[in-house]
Amino acid sequence: MAKVLIVFTTRSGETEKMANIIAEGIRFSGNEAVVKSVKDIGSDNDFAGYDALVLGSPTYHGDMIQPMKTLLFLAEKADLEGKPGGAFGSFGWSGEAPDRIFDTMKHIYKMDMVSGPLRLKSTYIGGGITMAQDYGKEIAKKLA
């Protein structure tokens, strides 16, 4: 059984909901998913012991919010190359944050990323719950 770390930051709670639903999708495949707030990550050692990493932030004024930017610099020191990864986030108008996180994980950390980031306005509209669970399942397939 593989162990996946999902780290999120949120403004309204929607990105946290997404993190927990993505974790469900990972668990459906028999893997372990640990969901943490960026506030619970204090050093690059906090990434050790995980087989995959998924990061999420809402988009605010066209960018991720500051706690995720800080976490990305911290994660750069962790040994993530080749590990499966994914990025997600909620948004109101634009939705750039998950794309920027995804690109950082793919090009800077050199992770084995899923097909693309997950962007949802809400988990409650447009099949958001199913989409988030499916994203977790896609991450789990990379662990097989």
Question: What is the tens place of the pLDDT at every residue in 100-140?
Answer: 999 999 999 999 999 999 999 877 777 889 999 999 999 99
pLDDT of residue 112: 98
Domain boundaries, the chain: 3-143
Fold of the 3-143 domain: Rossmann fold (3.40.50)
Range with the poorest average pLDDT among 23-32, 42-51, 98-107, 121-130: 121-130
pLDDT of residue 126: 77
Q: Please tell me the pTM assigned to this model.
A: 0.95
The C-alpha atoms of residue 96 and residue 133 are separated, in whole angstroms, by 21
- Whether residue 117 contacts residue 89, with contact meaning beta carbons closer than 8 Å, is answered with yes
pLDDT of residue 92: 72
Looking from the CA of 18 toward its CB, the CA atoms found within 13 Å total: 34
